[in-house]
């Protein structure tokens, strides 16, 4: 049983070791460079670092094609370097999470090499084979338009092997008890080296039945219970954060009715409807999505995000909704991917509009769950659409306006850096922004601090507030006597809200002021008018209020400003 729910109020920061900082000057990021950045990440307010794959790999899919689960790719350092990194994180109170990519391996993995070379190999049944190409071989592809099939013929094995992803990533037969035991062994190995959690890749595919004769897959949810039980036995507070883009009707199957399966899941449903609401200015679809994903066990948690290392997947939207988002944020074909997604970073999607960036990240930090940031979000990094597929958003971190953005001192780098345009490292970098008190990075540090000081968002219950406007989202959080009201204007026009105390709920009904957490613009009950709270929201504006339950100090901070008498 997990007795330390550290993930409930965490700030998760996702990064790629190879593109964060080069510590040895060979043009590739490494653990030596990452260790140098730990004080920076701690200062930003990060409480958990999620590492994309860093194990040995041919690098045909940015490390998601692994050849040795118990290693560090030599380009990034050694296992000793990883342990030093994990120790450095522990010293600073930061947790370590790593990618767990066990739906498939690289076709260069020793397991697959042994499996394909002999039908009698003990590893033969670790993969999925068929003597004939199945009829459904051209369906269910993860990368349509790039990937042509899910079954490829292997000359050595004289059979077809199944691969949900690229053909160089053969699927593991995860129904095989030996494969499941190996997955537990992998998790146990990294826990022993200081890892507190795993972002499990492609969870619905991991737990699905696989085979040539299967026309309708069945999810083996008890597999998740086995994983969770193992983590609980080995390290009581270790968790799995699942990449599972599933319908809300399936959520509880993944969490488990009592939270005995997954501790965390990415909320893809809310993410997609959030972007639709951002595109249209109508918060209705987002409100519906929030309520659809509200049910969850007490120990479970959603991970909220804006952009990640993959495309912005809009596959759960209707065709008309997806077209609206494309029109607003990815009007050119080169900005779209797989017919369902957008391969851009957030800042260029929003045209670098500071108002909209602040609104978006304020939403991230104030939606139900735990926020997950992508490296470079804090400075508004851009993308490079000249790179293929998902690589457009995987460019190197921009530290300074020097050569290669301060990422490496090597004359040439194997990692792409954004050099030109408004998002080039000359204009967008950490060094410049940390010296500017009005920079996006400075604002982000303050918002992270405020989010950590508002635990009711991560721990509490929420309800949607009727603001009277379809372009204004209102969410009220309650936890242990603390109440927070968060408002966001999705419109380019200013809005004046007139909220009755009963609309806001407990605390407001006593007539107490709404204390603005982010500024001095508090809101008082206007008894002399209509007995409502008046709140002005500028275009794309946002407000975070404490509601009721204030001690004397807070009430004194929010004294009603003196009124000017109309008497002569």
DSSP class of 63: T
Number of structural domains (the chain) is 2
DSSP 313-325: E-TTS-HHHHHHH
Report how far residue 463's alpha carbon sits from residue 287's, in angstroms, rounded to the nearest whole number: 10
Report how far residue 468's alpha carbon sits from residue 481's, in angstroms, rounded to the nearest whole number: 26
> Which single residue is written with the structure tokens 């930003």?
44
**Residue 86 in domain:** no
Report how far residue 24's alpha carbon sits from residue 78's, in angstroms, rounded to the nearest whole number: 13
Query: Of 162, 197, 232, which residue sits at a domain end?
Result: 162
**Residue 145 in domain:** yes
**Residue 534 in domain:** yes
Q: Among the residues of 72-153, which ranges form H helices?
A: 79-91, 110-117
Report how far residue 75's alpha carbon sits from residue 26's, in angstroms, rounded to the nearest whole number: 9
Q: Parallel, antiparallel, or unpaired for β 197-200 and 95-100?
A: parallel
- pLDDT for 566: 34
Confidence of residue 562 (pLDDT cuts 50, 70, 90): very low
CB 261 within 8 A of CB 225: yes
SS (H, E, C) 70-86: CCCCCCCCCHHHHHHHH
Query: Of 162, 181, 199, which residue sits at a domain end?
Result: 162
Q: Where in the sequence is the domain holding 474, given as residue range(s)?
A: 462-557
Residue 168, SS3? coil
- pLDDT for 526: 81
- pLDDT for 528: 59
Confidence of residue 565 (pLDDT cuts 50, 70, 90): very low
Find the helix or strand (DSSP H, E) in which 301 lies. strand 301-304
Q: What is the mean pLDDT of the chain?
A: 94
DSSP 259-283: S-S-SEEE-HHHHHHHHHHHHHS--
Report how far residue 497's alpha carbon sits from residue 234's, in angstroms, rounded to the nearest whole number: 52
**Residue 265 in domain:** no
Query: Of 137, 162, 187, which residue sits at a domain end?
Result: 162
**Residue 548 in domain:** yes
* CA-to-CA dists, residue 486 to 287, 362, 386, 473, angstroms: 13, 9, 39, 8
Residues assigned a catalytic role: 201, 243
pLDDT tens-digit map of 240-297: 999 999 999 999 999 999 999 999 999 999 999 999 999 999 999 999 999 999 999 9
User: Higher-confidence residue: 4 or 534?
Assistant: 534
Confidence of residue 64 (pLDDT cuts 50, 70, 90): very high
DSSP class of 140: S
The sign of the dihedral angle between the CA atoms of 161, 163, 166, 172 is negative
Q: Among the residues of 148-265, which ranges form H helices?
A: 177-192, 203-206, 222-234, 251-255
**Residue 492 in domain:** yes
Half-sphere exposure of 199 (CA within 13 A, CB side): 23
- pLDDT for 549: 54
Report how far residue 83's alpha carbon sits from residue 193's, in angstroms, rounded to the nearest whole number: 6
CB 417 within 8 A of CB 395: yes
pLDDT tens-digit map of 435-489: 999 999 999 999 999 999 999 999 999 999 999 999 999 999 999 989 999 999 9
CATH number for the domain spanning 481: value is 2.60.40.1180
- pLDDT for 507: 75
pLDDT above 80: residue 554: no
* Structure tokens belonging to residue 24: 């040895």
**Residue 504 in domain:** yes
Confidence of residue 568 (pLDDT cuts 50, 70, 90): very low
**Residue 194 in domain:** no
pLDDT tens-digit map of 331-377: 999 999 999 999 999 999 999 999 999 999 999 999 999 999 999 99
3-state helix, strand, coil in the chain (%, to 5): 35, 20, 50
Model confidence, pTM? 0.95
CB 514 within 8 A of CB 485: yes
CB 168 within 8 A of CB 105: no
CATH number for the domain spanning 156: value is 3.90.400.10
pLDDT tens-digit map of 86-120: 999 999 999 999 999 999 999 999 999 999 999 99
Report how far residue 476's alpha carbon sits from residue 499's, in angstroms, rounded to the nearest whole number: 13
Strands (E) across 307-380 are located at: 312-313, 336-337, 341-342, 370-374
Confidence of residue 214 (pLDDT cuts 50, 70, 90): confident
Report how far residue 555's alpha carbon sits from residue 538's, in angstroms, rounded to the nearest whole number: 26
- pLDDT for 28: 98
């Amino acid at each position: 049983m997990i007795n330390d729910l550290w993930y409930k109020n965490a700030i998760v920061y996702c990064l790629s070791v190879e593109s964060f900082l080069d510590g040895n000057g060979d043009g590739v990021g490494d653990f030596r460079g990452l260790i140098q950045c730990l004080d920076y990440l701690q200062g930003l307010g990060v409480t958990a670092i999620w590492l994309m794959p860093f194990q040995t790999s041919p690098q045909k899919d940015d490390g998601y094609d692994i050849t040795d689960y118990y290693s560090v790719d030599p380009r990034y350092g050694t296992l000793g370097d990883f342990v030093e990194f994990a120790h450095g994180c522990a010293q600073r109170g930061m947790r370590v999470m790593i990618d767990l990519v066990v739906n498939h391996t690289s076709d260069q993995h020793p397991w697959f090499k042994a499996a394909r070379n002999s039908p009698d190999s003990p590893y033969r049944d670790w993969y999925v084979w068929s003597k004939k190409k199945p009829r459904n071989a051209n369906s269910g592809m993860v990368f349509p338009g790039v990937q042509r099939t899910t079954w490829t013929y292997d000359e050595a094995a004289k059979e077809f092997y199944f691969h949900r992803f690229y053909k160089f990533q053969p699927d593991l037969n995860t129904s095989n008890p030996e494969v499941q035991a190996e997955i537990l062994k992998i998790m146990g190995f990294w826990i022993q080296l200081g890892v507190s959690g795993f972002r499990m890749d492609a969870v619905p595919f991991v737990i699905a039945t696989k085979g040539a004769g299967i026309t309708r897959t069945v999810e083996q949810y008890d597999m998740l219970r086995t994983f969770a039980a193992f983590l609980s036995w080995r390290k009581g507070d270790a968790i799995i954060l699942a990449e599972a883009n599933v319908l809300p009707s399936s959520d509880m199957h993944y969490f488990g009715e009592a939270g005995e399966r997954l501790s965390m899941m990415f909320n893809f449903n809310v993410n997609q409807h959030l972007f639709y609401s951002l595109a249209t200015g109508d918060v209705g679809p987002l409100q519906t999505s929030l309520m659809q994903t509200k049910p969850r066990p007490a120990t479970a948690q959603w991970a909220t995000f804006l952009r990640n290392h993959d495309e912005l997947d809009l596959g759960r939207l209707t065709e008309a909704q997806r077209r609206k988002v494309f029109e607003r944020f990815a009007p050119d074909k080169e900005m779209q991917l797989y017919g369902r997604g957008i391969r851009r970073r957030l800042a260029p999607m929003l045209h670098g509009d500071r108002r909209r960036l602040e609104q978006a990240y304020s939403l991230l930090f104030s939606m139900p769950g735990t926020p997950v940031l992508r490296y470079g979000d804090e400075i508004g990094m851009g993308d490079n659409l000249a790179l293929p597929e998902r690589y457009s958003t995987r460019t190197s971190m921009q530290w300074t306006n020097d050569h290669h953005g301060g990422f490496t001192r090597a004359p040439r780098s194997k990692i792409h850096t954004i050099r030109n345009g408004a998002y080039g490292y000359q204009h967008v970098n950490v060094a410049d922004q940390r010296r500017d008190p009005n920079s996006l990075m400075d604002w982000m540090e303050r918002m992270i601090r405020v989010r950590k000081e508002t635990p009711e968002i991560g721990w509490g219950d929420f309800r949607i507030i009727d603001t009277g406007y379809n372009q204004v989202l209102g969410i009220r959080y309650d936890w242990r006597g603390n109440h927070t009201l968060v408002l966001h204007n999705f419109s380019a026009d200013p809005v004046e809200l007139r909220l009755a105390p009963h609309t806001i709920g407990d605390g407001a009904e006593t007539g107490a002021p709404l204390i603005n957490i982010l500024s001095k613009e508090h809101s008082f009950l206007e008894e002399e008018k209509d007995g409502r709270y008046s709140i002005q929201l500028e275009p794309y504006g946002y407000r975070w209020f404490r509601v009721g339950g204030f001690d004397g100090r807070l009430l004194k901070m929010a004294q009603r400003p003196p009124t000017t008498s109309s008497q002569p």
